[in-house]
Structure 1
Amino acid sequence: MSSTQDNKSLALQASKVQVPTSNIMPDNISLNKWEDTGFEWVGEIAPNSFERLTSTLTTEHEQANISLDATLYRRNNVLHLAFILTGEVWLTCQRCLQPIAVDLSDKYDIALLDNESQIRLINEEQDYLLLEEIVTEQSPERLLPFKKLIEDEILLKTPMAPKHDDCEMSVEQFGEIPEEEETENPFAALAALKGKL
C-alpha cells in the first residue's frame, strides 16, 4: 500500500468523531453541534415509547424492542438522516381481532434540504424533507426532531388496517337466518295484461 493511501486512511480515521453514546434515544439532535461532523446513535427502543404509535399497538401481545442504527451525515453538501430499523410491532388484525406482527425491518435514507434548490442535488427516488418545516428553533440551537422522524417512518410502514392473510371475520351468528319468501313480481301482472290488449 502506498504512503498516499496510508495518509488517506489515517485522515479518514482522524475525521471520525466520537459521538457520546447513551442507552436513551434522544428526542432531538442539535444541528448546530452535529450537522457538519456527523452523529450516530445505535440502540434499542420500546415501541410504546413512541406516543403516536402506542395507540395502534395491541395490548394482547408483548412488544419486543426495535433495534435502531441511525447516522446523520453530509454528502454532496446535503444533510442526510439514514437509519436501519430491525424488529416488529404487534397490532390488532381488523378481521379476527387477534394480534398480528408487522415487520418494520428496512433501510431508510432521508435527505434534509436547506431549501428547494437542493432537490437537484439528490436522486429522483430519494425521500426528502425541508429543514425549515421540521427543525425547531430553540435559541441558541436548531434541533432536528430525531425521535419524531423515526416514528413518522414507522407509522408509514405500518398498515392502517392490518389483516392476516388467512383469517375469517370475527362475527358470531345468533339464531337461524330466515329464508326469504318469494314475492310476486309486480310487473308480471303488467306483462300478462300486455298480451291481452
Structure 2
Amino acid sequence: MSSTPINKPSALQADKASATTSANLPEHISLSKWEDSGFEWAGQVASRSFERLNALLTTEHLQSDLEIKANLYRRNNVLHLSFTLTGEVWLTCQRCLQPIAIDLTDDYDIALLDNESQVRLVGEEQDCLLLDEIITEPAPERLLPLKKLVEDEILLKTPMAPKHDDCEMSVEQFGEIPEEEENENPFAALASLKGKL
C-alpha cells in the first residue's frame, strides 16, 4: 500500500517536527527506515554548505541561506523525492566580473526507481534515477544521498557562464592595434606561370 505525504502516522509527525528545526540538511536518508512511511524535512541551508556549489560562488557579495522543503514519498508503488527550493546565489558575471544574482527558486520531483521496468509507472516528463546508480556506498542500510541530489539539481539550474542581460564587456586597450600586413596571394605566382606553359 502506497503512502502519501498527507497521510502520515502521528509518531512520524513528531519525528519530523524535530527534523524541521535543524539548519543542517541531512546528508542521507535511510531508505530502510523511511521509504515506506515517508520522510519530510524543512529548513534554511547555507549555500556555502554545498561543496561543489561553493566553488562557483562569488566572494564579492554576501550569500543568503536557501530555504528547502524536502519530501520522500511513494506514488503508484514508485519512490519519489520532491523538494522545493527558495532563494538565490551570487556568482560572478563573465562579462563585467561583478556579482550577479541567480534565482534558484523551483519545485523538483525525482522518481527513484528500483529497476528500469518501473519507468512505465511514471509519466514521460518525470525525472527518473535508478537507486542502484545513486546508492553506491556499501552500507548495512540503504542511504539515499539527499544533500548530493539537492546539490545536483542546484548545479543543473546554475548557468555555466552567468552574465547580466544588460552589461557590456569591459575592455581596456593598451597601445595601438598593429595593422595587418597585406600578404601576396600565393596563387599569383601560379597565375603568371599559367600563360608561359
**TM-score by structure 1 length?**
0.83
Cα distance in 2 for partners of 1:85, 1:177 equals 49
1:73 maps to: 73
Cα distance in 1 for partners of 2:63, 2:92 equals 12
Cα distance in 2 for partners of 1:185, 1:138 equals 71
Moved more, 41-50 or 178-187: 178-187
Cα distance in 2 for partners of 1:109, 1:128 equals 9
| Other structure's SS at 2:168 match | coil
**Structure 1 residues 194, 109: closer, same or farther in 2, change over 3 A?**
same
Q: Does 1:155 align with 2:150?
A: no
**Structure 1 residues 189, 46: closer, same or farther in 2, change over 3 A?**
same
* CA RMSD in angstroms, aligned pairs only: 2.5
| Other structure's SS at 1:94 match | coil
Deviation at 1:169, TM superposition (A): 1.8
The answer on whether the counterparts of 1:137 and 1:143 sit within 8 Å (CA) in structure 2 is no
Deviation at 1:137, TM superposition (A): 3.4
**Structure 1 residues 28, 13: closer, same or farther in 2, change over 3 A?**
closer
List alignment gaps of at least 5 residues for structure 2: 1-5
Taking only the aligned residue pairs, the percentage that are identical comes to 72
- What is the identity, as a one-letter code, of the residue corresponding to 1:159? P
The answer on whether the counterparts of 2:8 and 2:38 sit within 8 Å (CA) in structure 1 is no
1:27 maps to: 27
1:124-157 CA distance string (max 9 Å, x none) = 0100100011123311x11000000000000000
Structure of larger gyration radius: 1
Q: Does 1:130 align with 2:125?
A: no
Deviation at 1:181, TM superposition (A): 6.1
| Other structure's SS at 2:91 match | strand
The count of aligned residue pairs is 186
Cα distance in 1 for partners of 2:10, 2:114 equals 24
**TM-score by structure 2 length?**
0.83
Deviation at 1:78, TM superposition (A): 0.3
**Structure 1 residues 194, 125: closer, same or farther in 2, change over 3 A?**
same
1:28-177 correspondence to structure 2 within 5 Å: 28-135=28-135, 136-139=137-140, 141-177=141-177
| Other structure's SS at 1:137 match | coil
The answer on whether the counterparts of 1:38 and 1:73 sit within 8 Å (CA) in structure 2 is yes
